[in-house]
Amino acid sequence: DGGITQSPKYLFRKEGQNVTLSCEQNLNHDAMYWYRQDPGQGLRLIYYSQIVNDFQKGDIAEGYSVSREKKESFPLTVTSAQKNPTAFYLCASTQLTGVVTTEAFFGQGTRLTVV
Amino acid sequence: GENVEQHPSTLSVQEGDSAVIKCTYSDSASNYFPWYKQELGKRPQLIIDIRSNVGEKKDQRIAVTLNKTAKHFSLHITETQPEDSAVYFCAAPFLKFGNEKLTFGTGTRLTIIP
């Protein structure tokens, strides 16, 4: 069954702790993205990556870090420097075919709460 | 900069009526314009998309129109039904330093009134 999987579905973090959200895809997609969604708001881009060992900051990268050691994996770490991390996090992937953009597939999301 | 503006932020229509959501984008090089639907607590899913060489695309009750000159595109839902209630997002890709950045609008919460 192909797709993009995020884990965990719910995550609780104490203030001052780093936490890592997992994102795995078996679609053989080149590009992967992390978005943050706050209640009643849109999808804001945190980081994105088009190839292994390379990634770019999005619009709200401060307090977050990522890695892309394997094509199928793009974990997101929420560091203690992120002052307001409580949100719904969505991972997505797309296939790159030169100049033609293709459909983005989303994971089921991780809801992170700071306690 | 790379920007996608979406309007309105909320929209309520009577069941059976039509709904229209509009987006504008900033980069004239963008060539792909998808629309996603997100139901409560679920992941966004693609409902329709259009490429820059086409002006309109239809799929049953939904359609998307594109005006490249004005840099805007719209989602049209006809004969609305209760299951159309959801948040809808438009998106556009922006090419930056050889990397493609997929940027979304701020979303429209559509409510269908029975």
Distance CA(A88)–CA(A93), nearest Å, equals 17
Cα dihedral: A97, A102, A108, A112 (round 10): 80
Q: Do A50 and B109 touch (CB under 8 A)?
A: no
Cis omega (within 30 of 0) for bond into B82? no
Point out the residue among A42, A94, A103 whose CB comes nearest to the CB of B104: A42
Q: Is residue A34 less than 8 Å (CB to CB) from chain B? A: no
Whether B49 and chain A come into contact, CB under 8 Å, resolves to yes
Is A80 a residue whose pLDDT tops 80? yes
Q: Is A103 on the interface with B (CB under 8 A)?
A: yes
Q: What is the pLDDT of residues B11-20, one digit of tens each?
A: 999 999 999 9
A99 interaction partners in chain B (CB closer than 8 Å): 31
Report the pLDDT averaged over residues B37-58.
92
- H/E element, A105: strand A105-106
Q: In angstroms, rounded to a whole number, what is the distance separating the alpha carbons of residues A41 and A115?
A: 22
- Percentage of chain B beyond pLDDT 70 is 96
- 3 state DSSP class of A110: strand
Q: How far is the C-alpha of B55 from the C-alpha of B63, rounded, in Å?
A: 11
**Whether residue B8 has a cis bond before it, omega within 30° of 0:** yes
> CA-to-CA distance for A76 and A65, rounded, in angstroms?
6
pLDDT of residue B28: 84
Selection from A88, A79, A77, A81 nearest residue A110 by Cα: A88
